[in-house]
């Protein structure tokens, strides 16, 4: 039995437990649809470790490089409800090497496809870039809405949570960090 089938059985059991009629027209294929969705949302758990840190020769050493407003969708590990928003990344290349721009998007996609919390996602992306590309500093800012706060609990629609993580010069040099935020 494959993962999809196991998840579909669990979803069927869940729907029965909450009092739903699985013979209802709208629910007949729901367990299979939900199992496929779960596989997609959590695909990062089954992928090999992210290693696509291809860099290119560049003249930009010492100057900030940004990729901003990278959209992402993830799932809160506390309630298994979505949170979503955008990621902005800036870094100071070193050794005359810059990371291919698409790699930022791929890294965000990779780490957001697993249950997490926003603070951990922010720190992980910063750490991965700091450890895997030549740099003098990395900054990551995530702005997100959390359905676990909007649909349940405090029910605060449209509240934005902002998290940030810095390394290198962007962590220790206030002027460089100020420059990061001014240009973002």
Active site residues: 76-79, 118, 146, 148
Nearest by Cα to 143 from 56, 96, 83, 91: 83
Q: d(Cα 22, Cα 15) in Å, to the nearest integer?
A: 7
Beta strand extents in the chain (DSSP E only) = 55-57, 65-76, 82-93, 97-99, 115-116, 135-146, 161-168
N-terminal to C-terminal alpha carbon distance within the chain:
48
Give the angle subtended at the CA of 73 by the CAs of 71 and 74, to the nearest 5°.
140
Nearest by Cα to 116 from 151, 80, 86: 80
CB 92 within 8 A of CB 136: yes
Q: d(Cα 52, Cα 79) in Å, to the nearest integer?
A: 31
């Amino acid at each position: 039995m494959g993962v999809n089938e196991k998840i579909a059985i669990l979803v069927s059991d869940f729907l029965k437990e909450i009092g739903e009629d699985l013979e209802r027209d709208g629910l007949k294929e729901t367990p299979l649809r939900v199992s496929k969705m779960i596989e997609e949302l959590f695909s990062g758990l089954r992928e090999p470790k992210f290693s696509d840190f291809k860099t290119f020769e560049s003249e930009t050493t010492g100057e900030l490089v940004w990729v901003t407003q990278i959209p992402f969708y993830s799932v809160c590990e506390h309630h298994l409800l979505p949170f979503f928003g955008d990621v902005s990344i800036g870094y100071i290349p070193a050794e005359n090497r810059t990371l291919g721009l698409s790699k930022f998007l791929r890294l965000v996609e990779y780490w957001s496809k697993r249950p997490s919390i926003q603070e951990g996602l922010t720190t992980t992306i910063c750490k991965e870039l700091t450890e895997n590309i030549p740099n003098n500093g990395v900054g990551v800012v995530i702005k997100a809405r959390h359905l676990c706060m909007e649909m349940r609990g405090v029910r605060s629609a449209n509240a934005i949570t902002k998290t940030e993580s810095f390394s290198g010069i962007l962590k220790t040099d206030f002027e460089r960090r100020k420059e990061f935020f001014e240009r973002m």
